[in-house]
Amino acid sequence: MARVEWALPAAAPAPLRCLYLDSDLLVLDKPSGLLCVPGKGPDKQDCLSARAHALWPGVRIVHRLDQATSGLVVLARHLAAQRALSAAFAQRLVHKRYLAVVRGHPVAPPTVDAQGWSLIDLPLIADWPRRPRQKVDFLHGKPSQTRWRLLAYDAQAHTSVLLLEPVTGRSHQLRLHLASLGHPILGDALYADPATCARAPRLLLHACTLGLHHPVSGQWLQWQLPAPFALPMQA
């Protein structure tokens, strides 16, 4: 298999892309590098919520992706929809999947299920002296679980593509769980070693699947969004 070069073309910021829109919610494609909500300081005011509000006044944030992560984000168009969608996230009724390219070749443990899913169960807590980093803490950490499945392994590049399902939704959960297994995500400036971080121009983590019940009609809706970076094929 040919080695994959993790290079992205230089380009101006792409316009905000809307994948679904109705009177109650919208689903956007968040690019890597864009905050979901404003940060502190004038240089951190450009964000997904601000751009969305300029196009659809009154939109409300329901959940977030890390600034470095790309992919599917749902926003509410009024308070009742925000409350219903927030409750669905809190009750773990929202289906989320991510694609990640990691260093190495993760080996599934004996507890892998019939569909090939393995579970990472490591409690996490804020690493206050090194914020915004999180850390594994078996004494004080909050329960944190991630399901993962191997999709492809590039033996020449020694990288793998993983499909991830967060059972819980802790800050940096996917990134820290994978780094704790010894398989950090390429391009991760917080949890990868410098060599692994330098292998990609961005964090190779993408929210590729989002499914939920419509907050008004109750209809099940699901969206898929391919990763904006190259993925190695199965050897």
What domains are there in the chain, each with its CATH number?
14-91 (3.30.2350.10), 95-210 (3.30.2350.10)
pLDDT for 58-87, tens place per residue?
Answer: 999 999 999 999 999 999 999 999 999 999
Q: Is the pLDDT of residue 10 over 60?
A: no
Catalytic residue numbers read 66
Cα–Cα distances (Å) from 166 to 33, 118, 170, 203, in that order, read: 21, 12, 9, 17
pTM, two decimal places: 0.91
Comparing C-alpha atoms, which of 101, 45, 61, 91 is closest to residue 231? 101
163 or 128: which carries more pLDDT confidence? 163
pLDDT band at 233 (very low <50, low <70, confident <90, very high): low
CA dist., res. 172 & res. 106, Å (int): 19
> Pairing mode, if any, of strands 70-76 and 205-213?
parallel
235 or 117: which carries more pLDDT confidence? 117
Tokens of 135: 């850390």
If one counts every other C-beta atom within 10 angstroms of the C-beta of residue 4, the result is: 18
Q: Is the pLDDT of residue 213 over 70?
A: yes
- The stretch 153-161 carries a mean pLDDT of 95
Identify the weakest region by mean pLDDT among 9-18, 172-181, 221-230: 9-18
Q: Is the pLDDT of residue 109 over 90?
A: no
Q: Is the pLDDT of residue 155 over 90?
A: yes
Q: Is the pLDDT of residue 2 over 60?
A: no
The predicted pLDDT at position 6 comes to 54
Collect contacts of 199-204 with beta carbons under 8 A, ≥24 apart: 199/6, 199/103, 199/159, 200/6, 200/101, 200/229, 201/6, 201/7, 201/8, 202/8, 202/32, 202/33, 202/68, 202/70, 202/229, 203/32, 203/66, 203/68, 203/69, 203/175, 204/6, 204/100, 204/101, 204/229
The predicted pLDDT at position 40 comes to 81
